[in-house]
Amino acid sequence: MAARKKVIVIVIDGLTPGVLERGIEQGATPAVAFLAEHGRYGRAVSTFPSLTPVCLSSIATGAHPDVHEIPHLVWYDRTAGRLVEYGSSFGAVRAAGMRRSILNTIFNMNELHLSPRAVTVYEAVEAAGLTAAAINMTCYRGRHPHLPTVPGLTRAAYGPRRFFYYSLFQSDVIGAPLAVRNRSAGTIDAYAAAAGRWLVTRDGFDLLVYYLSDFDYSSHELGPEGAGEALGRVDAAVGTLIAAAGSPDEFLERYAVCLCSDHGQTLVERAIRLEDSFAGVRGAIVTASNRAGMVYRLAECPLDVRALAERLDEEPGAEAVLFLEGGEAVVRREREELRFARTAAGWRTSGDASLLEYPNGLERVWCALHGANAGDVLVSPAAGLEFTDLAGRHHAGGGSHGSLLPGDSEVPVLTVGMEGEARSITDVAPLALAHLGIEGPAYSQELAGAA
């Protein structure tokens, strides 16, 4: 029996299917085109909210927020009684408290916020006696302590055996350039490419998760259709891995590949403050940024959850308002409602099903509402609209993501040398584990059975 090929998962932040497909057709992405010639391409669906910390946690764990419990870019910790901000903007980080936000983003998301019930792909791989690697992946929880490279800092991050994180943590000395020199010029992906080259030349892993984030950064500023230069740099970073193997053929002989995005992006025309709809309501805490918002109801709030949701009836920018009531999920749009619940036989629904005509809408909404750290009311905005963050920042004139709409939710998936199909980003980790002959966690098997 032939030995199984090792696995590389390439995650390109914010890459939309349309942008990738045109890039291949126009010859702008030769490295990805080479993979496409030898693999299978399709479209899949993200999680909800389709925001990077939520999505990367879903890719790394093979689960939605009901399992991994990362609910948003910014959320309210009911136990601690304070906001958690992962980096909506520099201004939002300052507004939430610079030191606390940095600790939450770098350490606490993996150590405290990511549910112990969730199993990361690195944990599963290394429990099987193999070697896992991650480059710049923000959901990185693993078994091995890694000390910071910055003198004077002593708190370890626990990641996979081979771990490279924005020059701050490096499991091995690789001589890579500093990641944070010039984000707009692509230095973070250049760092990732250097780390990837080092790993591939040494064949130093059984599974590598290779995260490229600079396209999303450029797309936020210029819109997804204006980020062509960044797309070229992304393709070059993929090409670096192929070249490091010696030749394209040698690369395919050694590795199976899954290339995907974590979410899409759509253009933003205007921004609103979601907080304005709850002005003067005691005990209602709003957390919002990009194209998703949440409302938390504290004990002292005089309004029940339904009343909080109905306050958004007068806000046309709130396209879909979601909450739980009587054991069912409720989707409220233009004062009409759809109610639904998951049962052993499938989905039970009542009301106008067209209210939730979004990609994989039932599952994504149900899982988002059942996350332990989710707000009591979730909000998906209309096309072209964004919610301002804690500092009032937004991406009007550029691109953003987070909503249930197809443009925010659909992602490209390209697999080479792997069996099975990814219909959701939650399928990526199970596919990689199955290829390596590793049984996934119980919840991923339950999801496969439900599908």
Q: Are residues 322 and 304 located together in one domain of the fold?
A: yes
Tell me which residue of 138, 135, 144, 142 sits closest to 120, measured CA to CA: 142
Residues 6 or more apart whose CB falls under 8 angstroms from that of 182 comprise: none
User: What pLDDT was estimated at residue 447?
Assistant: 57
Query: Which CATH number is 135's domain given?
Result: 3.40.720.10
What is residue 205's three-state secondary structure? coil
Residue 418 lies in a domain: yes
Q: Are residues 56 and 136 located together in one domain of the fold?
A: yes
Residue 83 lies in a domain: no
**DSSP structural state of residue 185:** G
pLDDT tens digits, one per residue of 268-290: 999 999 999 999 999 999 999 99
Q: Are residues 295 and 186 located together in one domain of the fold?
A: no
Domain count, the chain: 2
- 257 in Cβ contact with 8 (< 8 Å): yes
pLDDT tens digits, one per residue of 303-351: 999 999 999 999 999 999 999 999 999 999 999 999 999 999 999 999 9
Q: Are residues 129 and 145 located together in one domain of the fold?
A: yes
Domain end point (choices 371, 394, 417):
394
Structure tokens at 236: 């070059």
Structure tokens at 106: 């770098």
Record the pTM: 0.96
Task: Give the least confident one: 149-153, 203-207, 210-214, 369-373.
Answer: 149-153
Residue owning tokens 């892993």: 205
Question: Considering the chain, what percentage of its residues have pLDDT values greater than 90?
Answer: 93
- 180 in Cβ contact with 199 (< 8 Å): no
Residues 6 or more apart whose CB falls under 8 angstroms from that of 213 comprise: 13, 136, 188, 189
Residue 85 lies in a domain: no
Q: Are residues 237 and 296 located together in one domain of the fold?
A: no
Above 90 in pLDDT, residue 258? yes
Residue 360 lies in a domain: yes
Q: Are residues 295 and 335 located together in one domain of the fold?
A: yes
Indicate the pLDDT class of residue 1, thresholds 50, 70 and 90: very low
Helix H or strand E segment including 18: helix 17-25
Residue 1 lies in a domain: no
d(CA 38, CA 35) in angstroms, rounded, equals 5
Q: Are residues 39 and 128 located together in one domain of the fold?
A: yes
Residue owning tokens 């010859």: 27
User: What pLDDT was estimated at residue 177?
Assistant: 86
pLDDT tens digits, one per residue of 217-252: 999 999 999 999 999 999 999 999 999 999 999 999
pLDDT tens digits, one per residue of 382-397: 999 999 999 999 999 9
Q: What is the mean pLDDT of residues 158-166?
A: 97
Angle formed by the axes of helices 17-25 and 228-244, nearest 10°: 70
Above 60 in pLDDT, residue 448? no
- 274 in Cβ contact with 292 (< 8 Å): no
35: amino acid identity, one letter? L
Domain end point (choices 373, 394, 415):
394
**DSSP structural state of residue 160:** -
d(CA 355, CA 350) in angstroms, rounded, equals 11
Residue owning tokens 């987070």: 402
Residue 424 lies in a domain: yes
Q: Are residues 361 and 275 located together in one domain of the fold?
A: yes
Residue 109 lies in a domain: no
> What is the span of the domain harbouring residue 57?
6-70+114-266+404-450
Q: What is the mean pLDDT of residues 106-113?
A: 97
Provide the sign of the torsion angle of the four alpha carbons 226, 53, 392, 276, taken in this order.
Answer: positive
Question: Considering the chain, what percentage of its residues have pLDDT values greater than 70?
Answer: 98
Q: What is the mean pLDDT of the chain?
A: 95
Q: Are residues 209 and 344 located together in one domain of the fold?
A: no
Alpha helices in 139-185 (DSSP H): none
369: amino acid identity, one letter? L
The separation between CA 36 and the C-alpha centre of its own chain, rounded to angstroms, equals: 23
pLDDT tens digits, one per residue of 166-216: 999 999 999 988 888 777 788 999 999 999 999 999 999 999 999 999 999
Query: Which CATH number is 308's domain given?
Result: 3.30.1360
- 291 in Cβ contact with 381 (< 8 Å): yes
3-state secondary structure string across 397-431: CCEECCCCCHHHHEEEEEEECCCCCCCEHHHHHHH
pLDDT tens digits, one per residue of 5-58: 999 999 999 999 999 999 999 999 999 999 999 999 999 999 999 999 999 999
Angle formed by the axes of helices 442-450 and 428-435, nearest 10°: 110
What is residue 1's three-state secondary structure? coil
d(CA 1, CA 16) in angstroms, rounded, equals 38
What is residue 358's three-state secondary structure? coil
- 315 in Cβ contact with 277 (< 8 Å): yes
Q: Are residues 135 and 278 located together in one domain of the fold?
A: no
Q: Are residues 182 and 257 located together in one domain of the fold?
A: yes
Beta strands (DSSP E) in 273-335 are: 284-289, 292-297, 318-325, 328-333
Q: Are residues 262 and 177 located together in one domain of the fold?
A: yes
Residue 355 lies in a domain: yes
